[in-house]
Amino acid sequence: MLLEGATPLGVLAIRDEPRPDARAALARLKDLGIQTVMLTGDNARTGQAIGRDLGLDVQAELLPEDKLRLIASYKAQGGVAMVGDGINDAPALAQSDVGIAMGGGTDVALETADAALLRERVSGVADLVALSRATMGNIKVNIAFALGLKAIFLVTTLLGYTNLWMAILADTGATALVTANALRLLRWKGQDALTTPAPHTDAAVPA
């Protein structure tokens, strides 16, 4: 505050601003069915102002142990992913089901997290969720196809309709087909590069 004697002439206020892509990234997460909440150590007024702009719930004035308590309560309701980049975020990253570190974060956060976004863009979180779901869908299809084919040839071989060599060839063919199906994921493209994806249902996003 700038004063002239006891008369205030002006006030200078400083606060952290959301990343440029934060609003679009949160919209994508909502479309994916992800519930988001911001956990921040900033004062409540600042946190609520940012939360209002982005349209997300806010828990403010939190110490690291407060974040741990909230993560535990969210985990009782479903899967939780924590996104963070600071030293104070490391305990919450470790406690959540999936810890996601921003690429430009501290070494402690990067070492603690299960996944690291290679670019400092929040939209990478939505990419991670989308790719993780595509990967899990691919795995389920491959398992169902491989087990189904094995079951068919097991029954037909026991009944005498197919011989052992046909079953072996079918097994080899199944391996080739599920591998080719998995390789389709190499064509997957998101808005950001990312590593070590894992599926989750809820996200706690710290400031």
* 170 and 103 assigned to the same domain: no
Is the pLDDT reported for residue 196 higher than 70?
Answer: no
* 200 and 107 assigned to the same domain: yes
Distance CA 134, CA 26 (A): 20
Is the pLDDT reported for residue 187 higher than 70?
Answer: yes
Domain residues for the domain of 105 are 18-123+194-206
Write the pLDDT tens digit of every residue in 107-137.
888 888 898 888 778 888 999 999 999 999 9
Residue 34 belongs to domain with CATH number: 3.40.50.1000
Please, are residues 201 and 125 in contact by the beta-carbon 8 Å criterion? no
Distance CA 68, CA 96 (A): 9
* Strands of the chain, DSSP E: 2-4, 7-10, 35-39, 57-59, 80-84, 98-102, 115-117, 202-206
Write the pLDDT tens digit of every residue in 4-58.
788 888 887 776 778 888 888 999 999 999 999 999 888 888 888 888 888 888 9
* 57 and 102 assigned to the same domain: yes
Distance CA 104, CA 112 (A): 14
| Opening angle at CA 146, ends 143 and 151, nearest 5 | 120
